[in-house]
């Protein structure tokens, strides 16, 4: 595959955004090493730009991003796509509002997922995902079983916890998917802190629906 020093690379803009947000995953403490992954779906072209497997984010270049189709065939790129490719694809196939996906191994979200707990509305920022965030049943990373468990648990929300693993967030664009993942890490930390103090006062459904109208996520109730 000749990518001609970038001149004819497919999805160049999406590649740049995947690289940029990969660095932000590390810089903002949402993952360590090469954990987690990011993809952007260009629905018009039917192609997905996905972070490669096992490459440090600060070493990833635009030409390392793998371009795949909705069936997981590599269209352009020499590296292996992320091990969670199947999970990204199942969301793109089943959620027509999803054009970007961010998967993190962020600390507090992962701690909540290791308790098998759903994330409850302790803070209004959870409204970026929905009324709450469910925890999907455990399955081995990279497996279709995990992808199916995650799809089942997310429902029409914008995020789901993966038991003993991490978090996955989706959105209409990468900025929104990334900030949802970031906000949910904050909500997870608050949830953790309140659980060490006792039982938190949760926001009511009516209070959350007011927030979700402002966030334009009302449909994800
Ligand atoms: Zn993972």
6 Cα–ligand 1 center, Å: 29
Contact 81, 157 (CB under 8 A): no
Looking at the DSSP bridge assignments, the partners of residue 160 are: 168
- Report the run of H or E that residue 190 belongs to, with start and end: helix 174-197
Does residue 221 surpass a pLDDT of 70?
no
Confirm if 100 and 159 have CB atoms less than 8 A apart: no
Strand order through the sheet with 100-104: 74-76, 66-69, 47-50, 37-42, 100-104, 166-171, 159-162, 135-136
Question: What are 148's two structure tokens?
Answer: 């199916």
What are the residues facing 170 on neighbouring strands?
A: 101
Across the strands, what pairs with 133? 119
User: How many A from CA of 105 to the centre of ligand 1?
Assistant: 6
User: Average model confidence (pLDDT) for the chain?
Assistant: 94
Tokens of 126: 């959870």
Q: Tens digit of pLDDT for each residue in 43-83?
A: 999 999 999 999 999 999 999 999 999 999 999 999 999 99
What is the whole-number distance in angstroms between the Cα of residue 5 and the centre of ligand 1? 31
80: left (phi over 0), alpha (psi -120 to 50) or beta: beta
What digits encode the pLDDT tens for the residues 1-49?
Answer: 445 555 689 999 999 999 999 999 999 999 988 889 999 999 999 999 9
pTM attached to this predicted model: 0.94
**CA dist 129 → 9, 108, 112, 120, 186 (Å):** 33, 16, 16, 11, 13
Q: Which residues are catalytic?
A: 84
């Amino acid at each position: 595959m000749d990518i001609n020093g970038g001149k004819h690379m497919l999805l160049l803009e999406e590649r740049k955004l995947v690289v940029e947000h990969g660095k932000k995953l590390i810089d903002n403490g949402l993952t360590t090493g090469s954990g987690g992954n990011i993809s952007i779906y260009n629905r018009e072209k039917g192609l997905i730009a996905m972070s490669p497997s096992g490459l440090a984010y600060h070493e990833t270049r635009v030409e390392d991003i793998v371009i795949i189709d909705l069936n997981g065939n590599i269209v352009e790129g020499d590296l292996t796509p992320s091990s969670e490719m199947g999970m990204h694809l199942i969301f793109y196939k089943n959620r027509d509002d999803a054009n970007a996906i961010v998967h993190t191994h962020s600390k507090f979200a992962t701690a909540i997922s290791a308790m098998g707990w759903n994330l409850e509305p302790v803070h209004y920022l959870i409204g970026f995902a929905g009324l709450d965030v469910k925890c999907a049943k455990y399955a081995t990373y990279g497996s279709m079983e995990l992808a199916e468990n995650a799809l089942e648990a997310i429902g029409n929300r914008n995020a789901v916890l993966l038991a003993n693993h991490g978090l996955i967030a989706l959105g209409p664009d990468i900025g929104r998917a990334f900030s949802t993942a970031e906000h949910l890490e904050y909500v997870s930390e608050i949830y953790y802190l309140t659980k060490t103090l006792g039982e938190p006062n949760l926001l009511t459904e009516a209070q959350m629906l007011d927030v979700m109208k402002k966030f334009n996520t009302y449909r994800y109730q």
